[in-house]
Chains A and B, each alone.
Chain A
């Protein structure tokens, strides 16, 4: 008898009391993982579901396009500069305008400062603790506090202070430190004064130090520890998929603008696109069991949840970008090369390397903020280009910390929004995360034995590299990611329910 029939049957018969004790009626607004076992007690399949939805595609309609960037930013307060920048770029398209060179540089500087802030928060609060404190450690210790205990309070304080350097830059340029307002079609609402430039330059130097420090922590706790290196290269944390990332004409990774390049599992370029052409290369499959869709490389067709050569699934984010292109600053390039030397493959398919790539990018973004702060053009008053005729359509694509972000708007002749399409980073990664979780579960669960709390650790560590932003993907809960795992036997009966919240 199927468990759901049983549950719903019981609800009808026994009423409200049963609904209250049935976990799924109470547990909303977080990730759900359903694991199904076969008759031998091994994992038959696993499903990672995103359970919430807010409907930005619809309620942004009727708004003037230039009001959208400050509004759509609230998709996520953690990704504080990202949706603002992508939609501002889309608004350029709607007004048929190319922003001034200075405006482009300010936007790029702004986006890179966010990259520093976000990568730092994610690495120290979520990523590094798994390695530093240990894979099977108590979750109560596997966090920022546990990390600080291991690396020292001084390092902890220094990191906090240098991360805030990036926040200061975001506020200075964006107006508000979270949910910025300064992006306008054709440019940026304020210029950078010479005093501000000097301050940004000095803050950028702190950010570069933060990047170097972070790579040093990575080196000390992971690369010098054989056990950790084994974890990084473990088969059960290897997901072989295609990758998508953004590079400039010279093949260098650029977070603000460039070509979106798709590569296959061997590293061959499959396609490159800009703007609206995304529709020719990416499609999103709807599944009835998750509020978030499953994107895939369109030319390869939907092939389901399979990894390995020939799959049409792809990943985005720090590792994807490192696989696709070269870091555009010297220190970060050196760190990127080292990663490929140590892991001996490109593209790298070990998902733990996402954390490594994140540290490389932190340094890269910091170096880029410094470069831009020293660019003589950055203080030019020429921050707004004259607008053209309303074209009625605009696509803005940037690289968010978690990966490629696509904002697509249509408007009427007055620039009032009539259609919205958003593909966010965590959405691209939805299907690969599903596979990563299945592999971790398969590794842990053998013949139905030892299904206990430690399984949660293995699964958490499998999805954490992707830095799931559920706020972005489904608009629910960012940061620490609450998740419920339900394991069913081959009869559909619940074997165990595990939760980390």
Chain B
């Protein structure tokens, strides 16, 4: 019998949905084993109220992509938990809060002021800011209020499995589909992962070539110099986060000469990616002067280390 599957996108960009669409013909094959009962709002024409009307626990597997950004997201996530036997936080936003989670470093007023008053193309003589209730001539209009912070899905409901990636690579999605269909799932609370770091799957890994990792004596930003196409990026001073990031992508970024930025999520059992990152980086800097060098190069280091994971961090909790 086909497994019943529900896919919900909340406050995300749709990239995770597209990574499933990118299964392309494999998706057609998978549909022999999966019955999509809900895929909103991007793909199927099923309505939220249809999901609400389904019997509790009637859906075998629920994938949630995107982060919790507003009250409706919260509500729908709770409905998914009620209806689905298994919930997967699918992708970096759902698991960790994702890139939009960096907004948690700023006040709501700052976000609005920059967008609606200070931006150079804005024509706003009366300093208008979008309002929950406003008047246009004789007509009164309403808008939902913008909430203060971004949350990962497990801040609202219990999550059974996590998938990293911004978005997950379609090959990894194919592996997940296979694991689900064959019932080959790890203990609850786990990441669905190949269990390897980016370095483990990276052709540049010094260990694979009998070379050693070296201390970093000069930190380089990605635009500085031309990285050697075969050598370890970290050994060349580029702040590659491959050692601490799950490598379900197959090292996509290092393969095109770009450092890993950590979208795959932290290697278990760590949950706080940035904390793990600063520990790992601290350990490979050659001496204290390189610490200054690092902070000079990256004055707001939190936006580099917590790019995909700030809402899941232990800080501010």
Q: Judge if B28 is at the interface, Cβ distance under 8 Å.
A: yes
Residue contact B14 to A475, C-beta cutoff 8 Å: no
Q: Which A-chain residue is minimally distant from B117 (CB atoms)? A: A286
Distance to closest chain B CB from A389 (angstroms): 13
A499 touches B129 (CB 8 A): no
Minimum CB–CB distance from B223 to chain A (whole Å) comes to: 4
B18 within 8 A of A: yes
Q: Which of B24, B98, B261 is packed against the most chain A CB atoms within 10 Å?
A: B24
Q: Which residues of B contact A29 (CB under 8 A)?
A: 10-11, 69-70, 72-73, 144
> Which parts of A54-100 form the interface with B (CB within 8 Å)?
54-59, 62-64, 66-67, 70-71, 74-78, 80, 91, 95
Which of A66, A174, A476 sits near B256, CB closer than 8 Å? Answer: A174
CB distance from A85 to the nearest CB of B (A): 15
Complex CA gap A128/B11 in Å reads 28
Size of the chain B interface, CB-CB below 8 angstroms: 89
Q: Which residue of B lies closest to A170 (CB)?
A: B22
Bitwise interface map of A from 477 to 488 toward B, beta carbon under 8 Å scored 1, else 0: 111111000001
User: Which A residues are CB-close (under 8 A) to B223?
Assistant: 64, 66, 91, 95, 184-186, 387, 415
Is B115 a contact of A26 with CB atoms below 8 Å? no
A288 contacts partner chain B, Cβ-Cβ < 8 Å? yes
Smallest CB separation, A51 vs chain B (Å): 5
| A324 CB to nearest chain B CB (Å) | 20
Bitwise interface map of B from 203 to 219 toward A, beta carbon under 8 Å scored 1, else 0: 00000000000000000
A423 vs B25: C-alpha distance when bound (angstroms): 35
**A3-18 residues at the B interface, CB under 8 angstroms:** 3-4, 8
Q: CA separation between A89 and B248, bound complex, in Å?
A: 30
B105 at the interface (CB under 8 A from A): yes
**With contact pairs A29-B73, A139-B45, A175-B258 given, residues A76 and B13 touching in the complex (Cβ less than 8 Å):** yes
A479 to B98, CA, bound (A): 20
Complex Cα distance, B194 from A216, in Å, reads 44
From known contacts A66-B222, A283-B123, infer whether A499 and B140 are also in contact, taking CB-CB under 8 Å.
no
Indicate whether A478 sits within 8 Å of B122 (C-beta atoms), given known contacts A58-B110, A62-B299, A185-B223: no
Q: With A30-B41, A478-B42 known to touch, is A59 a contact of B141 (CB < 8 Å)?
A: no
Question: Which residues does chain A contribute within 8 Å of B1, judged by CB atoms?
Answer: none
What residues of chain A lie closer than 8 Å to B231, measured between beta carbons?
A: none
* B124 engages A285 (CB within 8 Å): yes
Chain B residues in 8 Å Cβ range of A340: none
- The answer to whether A36 and B139 touch across the interface, beta carbons within 8 angstroms, is yes
| Given A29-B72, A58-B114, A74-B100: A286 in contact with B122 (beta carbons within 8 A) | yes
A177-B169, A387-B223, A499-B47 are contacts. A479–B106 as well, Cβ < 8 Å?
no
**Cβ proximity bits A159-177 to B, threshold 8 Å, 1 near / 0 not:** 0110110010001001111
B interface footprint on A22-36 (CB within 8 Å = 1, 0 otherwise): 001111111010101
Query: Contact: A477 with B18, CB < 8 Å?
Result: no
Decide: A479 and B14 in contact? CB cutoff 8 A.
yes
In the complex the two chains form, is A49's CB within 8 Å of B45's CB?
A: no
Q: Given A174-B256, A289-B134 in contact, is the A140-B72 Cβ separation under 8 Å? A: no
Q: In the complex the two chains form, what is the Cα distance from A394 to B296 in whole Å? A: 22
Give the complex CA separation of A500 and B44 in angstroms. Answer: 12
Within 8 A of A (CB), among B114-168: 114-116, 119-124, 128-131, 133-137, 139-144, 146, 166-167
| Known contacts A57-B115, A475-B13: A157-B106 contact under CB 8 Å | no
CB distance from A453 to the nearest CB of B (A): 12
Shortest C-beta distance, A435 to chain B (Å), equals 14
A398-B259 Cα distance, complex, nearest whole Å: 26
A279-307 interface mask toward B, CB cutoff 8 Å, 1 = contact, 0 = none? 10011111111110101001000100000
Q: Which of B13, B17, B141, B252 has the most CB of A within 10 A?
A: B13
B99 at interface by CB-CB < 8 Å: yes
Residue with the greatest number of chain A CB neighbours at <10 A, chosen from B106, B116, B223: B223
Residues of B contacting A282 in the complex (Cβ-Cβ under 8 angstroms): 121
Contact B252 A178 (CB under 8 A): no
Which residues from B are CB-within-8-Å of A189? 256-258
A140→B47 CA distance, assembly (Å): 10
Choose one: B18, B40, B128, B303; the contact of A62 (CB below 8 Å). B303
Is B221 located at the chain interface by the 8 A CB criterion?
yes
Does residue A53 face the partner (Cβ distance < 8 Å to B)?
yes
**Closest chain B residue, CB of each to CB of A95:** B223
Q: Specify the chain B residue showing the minimal Cβ separation from A469.
A: B14
| Given known A-B contacts A62-B300, A77-B16, A475 and B40 have beta carbons under 8 A apart | no
- The list of the 7 closest CB pairs from A to B, nearest first, reads A77-B15, A62-B300, A479-B42, A288-B134, A55-B111, A175-B256, A289-B141
Sample (7) of A-B pairs whose CB atoms are under 8 Å apart: A29-B10, A29-B72, A52-B11, A175-B253, A175-B258, A179-B166, A291-B130
